């Protein structure tokens, strides 16, 4: 095998064109409508400079316990908390920890503006500060910080790494009522059917992006806010031919604090996937 082809993870490509430092690859094995030249990036060597973005709204009990657990996963990791003026004072607590811990950064927003815009603000901050990859993670301990090294390892081979609760026919969710589990499982079946993205868990919020993906996606045009946000980001990345990889994660329902899930978030996901598909058909995604 040609070593540089392995470095670019394009062993299966059928034609490679090089223009300066940019490589374009053509994949014959994709369905006809996707057979076009795709820009490719070299694999990241070693542990990338990574930022963990943690959006918070009323997570005062969780955040002080979570921060040290994240930071001890890798000495290079940094955290950005995006707090939406939490009435319980989470933002103030984050500032206090940040005074002692230079690897913690805090972004304050005026009010509850939603998860999607919190992540977009975090991505823009991370791009400005030259991070090579960015992780998304909830503050409520549903996402285990111990999984972070697996993401950092996998992002060396993929452009987007999704933490999956439904990989290989296994359901790795703990403590959810059966109704919530069924809702999540069938939301995934539905989203996969409408968008065509070939992954097991499209709605999960524990994931990692290379900066090239976030540079390629027009972040100001990302419209969704709840679960749909996760679907939209993966769909946009997949349509741009980025490599999506999945790793299994154990998802545990929150112990402390209140869920921000709502009927509005569910309905947004139901109709939004059709809008995303519509935009994609017209090449406007």
Ligand X SMILES: Nc1nc2c(ncn2[C@@H]2O[C@H](COP(=O)(O)OP(=O)(O)OP(=O)(O)O)[C@@H](O)[C@H]2O)c(=O)[nH]1
Query: Residue ranges of the alpha helices (H) in the chain?
Result: 3-7, 63-71, 90-100, 115-128, 148-154, 178-195, 211-216, 227-239, 263-281
CB of 276 closer than 8 Å to CB of 231: yes
Hey, CA dihedral for 176, 85, 202, 7, is it positive or negative? Answer: negative
Instruction: State the binding string over 113-132 for ligand X (x if CB under 6 A, else -).
Output: xxx--x--------------
Q: Residue 181 to residues 24, 86, 253: CA-CA distances in angstroms? A: 41, 28, 11
Number of residues binding to Mg ion, judged by CB under 5 A: 3
CB of 133 to ligand X, least distance (A): 20
Strand, coil or helix: 81: strand
Number of residues binding to ligand X, judged by CB under 6 A: 20
Token readout for 196 is 């065509």
Strand, coil or helix: 167: helix
142 binds Mg ion (CB under 5 A): yes
Chain length of the chain:
285
Of 2-10, 11-19, 21-29, 135-143: span binding ligand X (CB under 6 A): 135-143
Q: DSSP letters along 229-275, please?
A: HHHHHHHHHHHTTPPEEEEE--EE--SSS-----HHHHHHHHHHHHH
Specify the residue, 13 or 184, whose C-beta has the smaller distance to ligand X. Answer: 184
Tell which positions 6-35 bind ligand X, by CB under 6 A.
Answer: none
Binder of residue 241, out of Mg ion, ligand X, none (CB less than 5 to 8 A by kind): none
Tell which positions 140-169 bind ligand X, by CB under 6 A.
Answer: 140, 142
Instruction: State the binding string over 121-140 for Mg ion (x if CB under 5 A, else -).
Output: -----------------x-x
Specify the residue, 25 or 93, whose C-beta has the smaller distance to ligand X. Answer: 93
CB of 191 to ligand X, least distance (A): 15
* Residue number closest to ligand X, CB atom: 259
Instruction: State the binding string over 45-84 for ligand X (x if CB under 6 A, else -).
Output: ----------xxx-x----------------------xxx
- Residues 138 and 66: their CA atoms lie apart, in Å, by 10
Specify the residue, 160 or 228, whose C-beta has the smaller distance to ligand X. Answer: 228
Neighbour count for residue 235 (Cβ, 10 Å) = 25
Of 69-77, 134-142, 192-200, 236-244: span binding ligand X (CB under 6 A): 134-142
Specify the residue, 26 or 176, whose C-beta has the smaller distance to Mg ion. Answer: 176
Of 17-25, 125-133, 161-169, 253-261: span binding ligand X (CB under 6 A): 253-261
Picking from 63, 55, 70, the residue whose alpha carbon sits closest to that of residue 122 is 55
């Amino acid at each position: 095998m040609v070593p540089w082809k392995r470095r670019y993870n394009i062993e299966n490509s059928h034609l490679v064109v090089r223009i300066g430092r940019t490589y374009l690859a053509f994949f014959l094995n994709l369905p006809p409508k996707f057979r076009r030249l795709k820009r490719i990036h070299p694999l990241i060597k070693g542990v990338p400079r990574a930022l963990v973005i943690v959006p918070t709204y009323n997570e005062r009990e969780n955040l002080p316990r979570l921060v040290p657990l994240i930071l001890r996963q890798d000495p290079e990791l940094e955290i950005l908390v995006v707090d939406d003026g939490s009435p319980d004072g989470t933002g103030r607590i984050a500032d206090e920890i940040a005074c002692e811990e230079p690897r913690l950064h805090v972004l304050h927003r005026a009010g509850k503006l939603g998860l999607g815009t919190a992540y977009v603000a975090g991505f823009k901050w991370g791009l400005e500060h030259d991070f090579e990859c960015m992780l998304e993670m909830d503050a409520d301990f549903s996402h285990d910080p111990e999984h972070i090294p697996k993401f950092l390892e996998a992002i060396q081979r993929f452009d987007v790494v999704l933490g999956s609760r439904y990989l290989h026919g296994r359901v790795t969710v703990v403590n959810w009522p059966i109704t919530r589990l069924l809702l999540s499982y069938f939301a995934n079946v539905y989203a996969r059917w409408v968008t065509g993205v070939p992954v097991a868990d499209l709605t999960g919020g524990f994931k990692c992006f290379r900066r090239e993906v976030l540079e390629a996606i027009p972040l100001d045009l990302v419209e969704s806010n709840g679960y749909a946000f996760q679907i939209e980001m993966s769909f946009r990345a997949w349509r741009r031919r980025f490599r999506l990889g999945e790793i299994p994660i154990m998802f545990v329902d929150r112990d402390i604090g209140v869920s921000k899930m709502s009927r509005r978030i569910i309905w947004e996901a139901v109709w939004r996937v059709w809008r995303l598909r519509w935009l994609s058909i017209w090449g406007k995604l």
